[in-house]
Amino acid sequence: MEFTKGHGTGNDFVILPDPDGALELTPELVAAICDRRRGLGADGVLRVVCAAKHSDGAALAGEAEWFMDYWNSDGSFAEMCGNGARVFVRYLLETGLATPTADPLPVATRAGLVHARLDGEAIAVEMRRPRRYAASAAALGGLTLPGTAVDVGNPHLVCPVPAGLDLAGLDLTRAPGFDQTLFPSGVNVEFTAPAEPIDGIDGHVLMRVYERGSAETLSCGTGACAVAAVALDDAAREVGTVAVDVPGGRLTVTITDDSCWLSGPALLIATGTLTLP
């Protein structure tokens, strides 16, 4: 079957066009596609399905033509993927499945409707406003790092790295421990450190992430939104713009009274034919 490979700040995806929802994707097949040695290699799969043709998208079919069927690289589902949504929209626009208009483009996801627009060379996606809801902690290499649970449609735990500990030096080859009661379906864990202020931007943070279902990735869009929400809260601000530098580049998050815009590069890099195992 035909595939396209794309990424947003190094968070990479295999995009599978399947307008009629005819493809029988299984966790095993997704994991095989995402395998970096025996498959194409990716952090996740984005299946492009008509909203009306997918059981998780049908309820939104009156509002959005396309449903983003997102899967993590281990074959698990996630409710939302911020970088995935931006790459998904780039795909819709470049293949002519959607046309750029003055109005934001609606896309159906498991976390509800999101809206996208071109932002210069970048693609920006409007998601729900992140919600801080509990104090918690992550365990990493014998350390316990206090953090904040944040709901961005999917679950996040934002843990600032204490002064004296090097963010770049953290060993994220293994999954951090977390409170299984607070996060019964797992959690994406973001580790952060403050960065130099940038003129005209309300906050600037460095972030690394260990993603539920995909291990360490170069970037996580919803994670950046969670991090931005905590940074603004800590600065006693309700709204504002935060630059979040991830190993794969820079994401810009703008939190408004009732939503959250995530902006950054979204690129398609290859197309081809995949021989399904």
Q: Which of 162, 262, 248, 260 is nearest to 211 (CA)?
A: 248
Subset of residues 185 to 204 that bind ligand LBFN2T5F, contact rule: CB under 6 A: 188
Parallel/antiparallel/unpaired status of strands 215-217 and 203-211 = antiparallel
Does 4 belong to an annotated binding site?
no
How many of the other CB atoms lie within 10 Å of CB of 96? 7
Does 95 belong to an annotated binding site?
no
Catalytic residue among 81, 159, 225, 260: 81
Q: Write the DSSP string, 140-164.
A: ETTEEEEEEEEESSSEEEEEEPPTT
Distance CA(94)–CA(226), nearest Å, equals 29
Does 72 belong to an annotated binding site?
yes
User: Residue 167 contacts by C-beta under 8 Å, 6 or more apart in sequence?
Assistant: 161, 191, 192, 193, 206, 208
Does 272 belong to an annotated binding site?
no
Tokens, residue 183: 């996060």
Backbone angles phi, psi at 105, to 5 degrees: -85, 125
Distance in Å, CB of 272 to ligand LBFN2T5F, minimum: 23
Q: Are the C-beta atoms of residues 199 and 210 closer than 8 Å to each other?
A: no
* 194 beta partners: 205
How many of the other CB atoms lie within 10 Å of CB of 35? 14
Question: Using the rule CB under 6 A, which residue among 30, 45, 220, 228 binds ligand LBFN2T5F?
Answer: 220
* Whether residue 220 lies in the annotated active site: yes
Stretch that binds ligand LBFN2T5F, among 48-56, 61-69, 113-121, 209-217 (CB under 6 A): 209-217
Burial class of 20 by CB neighbour count within 10 A (0 to 12, 13 to 18, 19+): exposed
* Whether residue 260 lies in the annotated active site: no
Distance in Å, CB of 197 to ligand LBFN2T5F, minimum: 25
Based on the shown chain and the rule CB under 6 A, indicate whether residue 148 belongs to the binding site for ligand LBFN2T5F.
no
Site track 36-75 with ligand LBFN2T5F (rule: CB under 6 A), x = hit? ------------------------------------x---
Stretch that binds ligand LBFN2T5F, among 101-109, 200-208, 213-221, 266-274 (CB under 6 A): 213-221
User: Residue 236 contacts by C-beta under 8 Å, 6 or more apart in sequence?
Assistant: none
Question: Using the rule CB under 6 A, which residue among 12, 211, 216, 245 binds ligand LBFN2T5F?
Answer: 211
Distance in Å, CB of 221 to ligand LBFN2T5F, minimum: 3
Identify which of residues 52 and 107 has a Cβ nearer to ligand LBFN2T5F in the complex: 107
Based on the shown chain and the rule CB under 6 A, indicate whether residue 154 belongs to the binding site for ligand LBFN2T5F.
yes
Subset of residues 161 to 190 that bind ligand LBFN2T5F, contact rule: CB under 6 A: 188
Site residues (vs ligand LBFN2T5F, CB under 6 A): 11, 72, 78, 81-84, 154, 188, 211-214, 217, 220-222
**Catalytic positions:** 81, 220
